[in-house]
Amino acid sequence: MKDRTVQKRALGASQLTSAVRRHWKVALLVAAAMAGQTLLTLAQPWPLRALIDHVVQNPSNTNDLMSRYSLTEFILVSIRGFFHEDLYHFLFQGIFLLALIYCGNALLLYVQNTALATLGQRVVLTIRERLFSHLVSLPHGFFEKARTGDLTSRISKDTADAQDILESLLTVLIRSLPTVVGILVVSFVMDWIYALTFVMVIPVVYWANVFFSRRTREAVRRQRRIEGALASSVQETFYYHKAVTSLSLENEVVDDFLEGGRESAQQAVRAGRYQGMLTASMDMLVGATSLLVLFVGILRIIHGCLTVGQLMVFLSYLNSLFKPIREMSKFAGRWAKSSAALERIEEIMALNPAEMGACDVPHAVPAPRFRGHVQFRDVWFGYDKDRPLLRGFEMAVAAGERVALVGDSGSGKSTLLHLLMRLYDPDRGAVLVDGRDIREFTLASLRNQMAVVLQDSYIFRMSVRDNIAMAKPGATEDEVVAAARAAGAHEFILGLSQGYDTQLGEGGGGLSGGQKRRLAIARAILRDAPIVVLDEPTVGLDAASEKRVMASIQRLTRGRTTFMVTHQLATIMDFDRIVVLSGGEVVESGRHEDLVQAGGLYQRLWESQRAEEESPLPAGSQEILEA
């Protein structure tokens, strides 16, 4: 388990480094600015040492200098001294170099912050793009089991954490770590005994980082799992809001949300507590080490082993040393939090579409224009591999034939459509179009030759025109209007506030069920595909809407190979063939009139529906419906 966690964390980091390599020019600019700051940090104490040892430590010369010249003369003499080896030389050169270092550091800090922000945003966008593209490429079966809210959280929040960890990582690797190493090297060269006081603190810092960051990461990992579940719960509540209110479940969903929120907050507080402990331990180490360095330094000055200027260099280095150490300790906490996010990203990126269901096989080719002959040949398939729904299923449909699939729930009707659209692949056997296994074709080219109208019309949050035109990118205005006319949607579209430019809400909010269905049919007509797939296209519609939708379907399916799943038998009376399924097998097949006469399952379904339509409403039902 530990090896898998380490491997997953490394793979998550590989997503980050891969994205950084894509923007290497900006990363190089960040690295150059940070490296420059490191060099200036190492150089900063030395002009100060020269001022102290050569100017401040010679008070008689300094007092004589200030008494002999006015301020203007003093500045002029100091400038002259820049070019001569005397007191003025050390004074002016020290001040000049300090000013140069401060200005250079400020400039490099501006370059670093600007470039780092640019790099962070580009890296987040790259990771987000890769994650979203990979998710979209996954088979349909994955999304039937996945939590949509959790996936949304990974795309939005987890990818955003990549910027935080990137900034911390670059700061540690390019500025903090080289600064620490450089300070230790220079300190050992100056006075190795004194430098040992710096080294003593490093193992303690390392242990504290490892101890607290591990516990922070565990808490954050649990928090992210809870937040993903919360996001799914919120999305589900909003999506099924009508059901929540009609069943008076408001209090229950709020209680569930609060419980999840409390669990998430507990883990966040726990992570914050460990980070606080880490920061506090760093501050204690800073204070203790500062006192030790000052004490040892004064002793070595008393014994003549160290100058005051050298002590100032050590104290300056001490201050500069603990700043990157603090950054490294903060990085440990940030890495603990962000590595959990990277792991969640990698969990998705590691999913192999080929192992999960239908995907493009190697050497898949674009499908030619289909004539529309479809054959299911010895097809075995089950959503649960241990319980196959289809066992050696056989069926052939001629090009241009309109076939209706009917039967009880779970008989395999929609499954056949899923296999035809390659939402799933058969466990055994094959689905053929024009005599060729559909797995030979790329998914995009296969599905582009299918016009699909489902029970859920899938109206997107865009204009009416764009909702229709998405079936055929680049479609002209005339083509869109013609498709809408053929679907019987043109009249109601013109009645909208802005006609074809009307912006629709999420899920087609503001449109009736029949209007949404006709927009979906217009989209299918515009695609002009040789194969039409209809899954319960009239379910949930009133009689008037059903009549208009069926008229649109008649125009859509004319001359095209059609598969229509329905429970409403009155809508398929004129179909070329009706296939009756039960338990994944064909139990009857023929035209409506023949099947009604045959006295089998279809006749029982037909008689049952007729009886329901003709039966009078119970007393009081009419008032309830009108209410």
Do β-strands 436-437 and 585-590 pair in parallel, antiparallel, or remain unpaired?
unpaired
Residue 404 CA: distances (Å) to CA of 534, 562, 577: 9, 8, 6
pLDDT one-digit tens code per residue, 339-349: 777 888 888 88
Q: Are 386 and 394 in contact (CB under 8 A)?
A: no
Q: Nearest Cα to 47, choosing from 87, 82, 109, 99?
A: 99
Q: Nearest Cα to 172, choosing from 369, 30, 285?
A: 30
Q: Are 181 and 35 in contact (CB under 8 A)?
A: no
pLDDT one-digit tens code per residue, 495-525: 988 999 998 877 777 788 888 888 988 989 9
Most confident of 163-172, 252-261, 420-429: 420-429
The total of other beta-carbon atoms located within 10 Å of residue 152's CB is 15
Q: Are 269 and 222 in contact (CB under 8 A)?
A: no
pLDDT one-digit tens code per residue, 10-66: 445 677 778 888 888 988 898 898 888 888 888 877 777 666 765 555 554 444 544
Structural domain includes residue 626: no
Structural domain includes residue 623: no
* CATH code for position 511: 3.40.50.300
- 247: which 2 tokens? 């069943």
Structural domain includes residue 396: yes
Structural domain includes residue 518: yes
What is the distance of C-alpha 481 from the center of its chain? 36
- The SS3 call for residue 532 is strand
* Residues 6 or more apart in contact with residue 459 via CB below 8 angstroms: 467, 504, 507, 508, 511, 516, 519, 520
Query: Above 80 in pLDDT, residue 172?
Result: no
From the number of C-beta atoms within 10 Å of its C-beta (0-12, 13-18, 19+), residue 474 rates as exposed
Structural domain includes residue 439: yes
pLDDT reported for residue 622: 42
pLDDT one-digit tens code per residue, 102-112: 888 889 889 98
User: Which residues, listed in sequence order, are joined to residue 582 by a DSSP beta bridge?
Assistant: 585
Q: Are 159 and 15 in contact (CB under 8 A)?
A: no
Distance CA 182, CA 171 (A): 15
From the number of C-beta atoms within 10 Å of its C-beta (0-12, 13-18, 19+), residue 396 rates as exposed
For residue 479, the one-letter residue type is: E
Band (263; pLDDT cuts 50, 70, 90): confident
Residues 479 and 437 in one domain: no
- Core vs surface per residue 38-59: b (16+ CB within 10 A) or e: bbbbbbbbbbbbbbbbbbeeee
Provide the mean pLDDT of the chain: 79
The total of other beta-carbon atoms located within 10 Å of residue 468's CB is 27
End position of a domain, from candidates 512, 528, 544: 528
- 139: which 2 tokens? 């088979």
Q: Are 349 and 136 in contact (CB under 8 A)?
A: no
| Residue indicated by tokens 């808490």 | 219
Residues 91 and 176 in one domain: yes
Distance CA 127, CA 376 (A): 41
- 348: which 2 tokens? 């998705």
Q: Are 154 and 103 in contact (CB under 8 A)?
A: no
Mean pLDDT over 357-386 rounds to 88
User: Which residues, listed in sequence order, are joined to residue 503 by a DSSP beta bridge?
Assistant: 463
Structural domain includes residue 469: yes
Residues 56 and 175 in one domain: yes
Residues 367 and 344 in one domain: no
Residues 102 and 33 in one domain: yes
Residues 587 and 609 in one domain: yes
End position of a domain, from candidates 355, 370, 387: 355
Residues 502 and 554 in one domain: no
Residues 140 and 79 in one domain: yes
Query: Above 70 in pLDDT, residue 4?
Result: no
Band (220; pLDDT cuts 50, 70, 90): confident
The DSSP code for 383 is S
The fraction of the chain above a pLDDT of 70, given in percent, is 83
The DSSP code for 247 is T
* CATH code for position 210: 1.20.1560.10
CA atoms within 13 A on the CB side of 142: 17
pLDDT one-digit tens code per residue, 448-499: 999 988 887 788 888 899 989 988 888 899 999 999 998 888 999 999 889 9
In terms of DSSP H, where are the helices of 401-494?
413-420, 443-447, 464-469, 477-486, 490-494
Residues 461 and 411 in one domain: no
Angle at 394 between CA 391 and CA 397, to 5 degrees: 145
Q: Nearest Cα to 531, choosing from 376, 373, 412, 381?
A: 373
Band (239; pLDDT cuts 50, 70, 90): low
For residue 439, the one-letter residue type is: R
* Residues 6 or more apart in contact with residue 307 via CB below 8 angstroms: 49, 52, 53, 57, 301
In terms of DSSP H, where are the helices of 240-307?
241-246, 250-302
pLDDT reported for residue 253: 73
Which residue range(s) make up the domain with 605?
A: 358-449+529-616
The continuous run of DSSP H or E covering 381 comes out as strand 374-381
pLDDT reported for residue 508: 76
Structurally, how many domains does the chain consist of?
A: 3
Do β-strands 428-433 and 450-453 pair in parallel, antiparallel, or remain unpaired?
unpaired
Residues 371 and 382 in one domain: yes
Structural domain includes residue 621: no
pTM of the model: 0.65
pLDDT one-digit tens code per residue, 331-368: 766 776 677 778 888 888 888 776 666 778 888 899 99
Structural domain includes residue 121: yes
End position of a domain, from candidates 528, 546, 572: 528
The DSSP code for 585 is E
- 540: which 2 tokens? 């949930």
Residues 430 and 387 in one domain: yes
From the number of C-beta atoms within 10 Å of its C-beta (0-12, 13-18, 19+), residue 616 rates as exposed
Residues 416 and 474 in one domain: no
Mean pLDDT over 235-263 rounds to 69
The continuous run of DSSP H or E covering 396 comes out as strand 390-397
pLDDT reported for residue 292: 80
Q: Are 379 and 428 in contact (CB under 8 A)?
A: yes
